[in-house]
Amino acid sequence: MTDEEMINCRAPERQLERAIAVMHRLRAPGGCPWDAEQTHESLIPNLIEEAYECIDAIRAADWPHLREELGDVLLQVLFHAELAAENPHAGFTLADVACDLSDKMVRRHPHVFGTSDVSTSEGVLTQWDAIKRKEQSIEDKPYLKNCGKGLPALLRAFKLTKKVAKVGFDWPDHEGVVDKIREETSEVEETLSLPDSDPHVEEELGDLLFTTVNLCRRRGIDPEVALDAANRKFEKRFNLLEKLIKAQGLTLEEASTEQMEAAWQQAKSSAN
């Protein structure tokens, strides 16, 4: 089958090949000028944006949208693999990426493909981490080496605390974390008299956030998901507050603190 025939192919079992052919055509001479200009570095914002748009579709349980967004995420993989195939210093293709992934999944699931008798999710994660450290020859390196490297701070805090908890570095119960949050809150209060530029202000607020992430982890809650839900709730309530203020013939800038608070309480009651 020629490239042109593959691009027009509708057979379900050939669609991944078709996507590869389309991507190759876009980058080839006479293809798309924008696609031809892209590099691994220029595509970084797209990769991040598409991942978050996919997450948004999942949280909204919008399945048609999720189908589309998964395609956009796959496009990023196809694009980077095509760029790598063109680069003699990289020299790998999408087939190499898929091969490495399959090999890794088999290696790191010996309870499925081998003789390991691990039978719990917790055991699987511990086993995965041990195999990964051995593969990367970092058994004698710091335990947290490269843990969550490149992640946003909130997600990295979650990953760091999950990892150390695997080796027993954790509070014995939820109450211990809550006590630590109270302690950190008190230390934040002690900084209120300091100027905003004092490094202790940022440090203590960071400690409070980090400890709160620990409580999320212990309760089985992803802090990113929890914060996103809080953002959505706040946005919904503030939008209602704005409507209530405008119904009084006022703009947000004209409303007093007392009027804002009254509208906020009303918005909270209405939202609930």
Number of H helices, E strands in the chain: 13, 0
**Residue-range domain boundaries for the chain:** 3-97, 108-141, 142-221, 225-271
pLDDT at site 271? 66
Q: Are 79 and 43 in contact (CB under 8 A)?
A: yes
Do 3-97 and 142-221 share a fold? yes
The confidence score (pLDDT) of residue 225 equals 87
* Residue whose tokens read 């211990």: 176
Looking at residue 272, its pLDDT comes to 63
Q: Tens of pLDDT along the chain (272 residues)? A: 788 899 999 999 999 999 999 999 999 999 999 999 999 999 999 999 999 899 889 988 999 999 999 999 999 999 999 999 999 999 999 999 999 999 999 999 999 999 999 999 989 988 998 898 888 887 778 989 889 998 889 999 999 999 999 889 999 999 999 999 999 999 999 999 999 999 999 999 999 999 999 999 999 999 988 998 899 999 999 999 999 999 999 999 999 999 999 999 999 998 66
CATH of domain 3-97: 1.10.287.1080
Each residue of 202-240: pLDDT tens digit?
A: 999 999 999 999 999 999 999 988 998 899 999 999 999
Contacts for 149 with CB less than 8 Å, ≥ 6 apart: 156
**Fold for the domain defined by 142-221:** Helix Hairpins (1.10.287)
Q: How far is Cα 108 from Cα 128, in angstroms, rounded to an integer?
A: 6
Are the C-beta atoms of residues 26 and 35 closer than 8 Å to each other?
yes
pLDDT of residue 140: 76
Say if CB 85 and CB 92 are below 8 A apart. Answer: yes
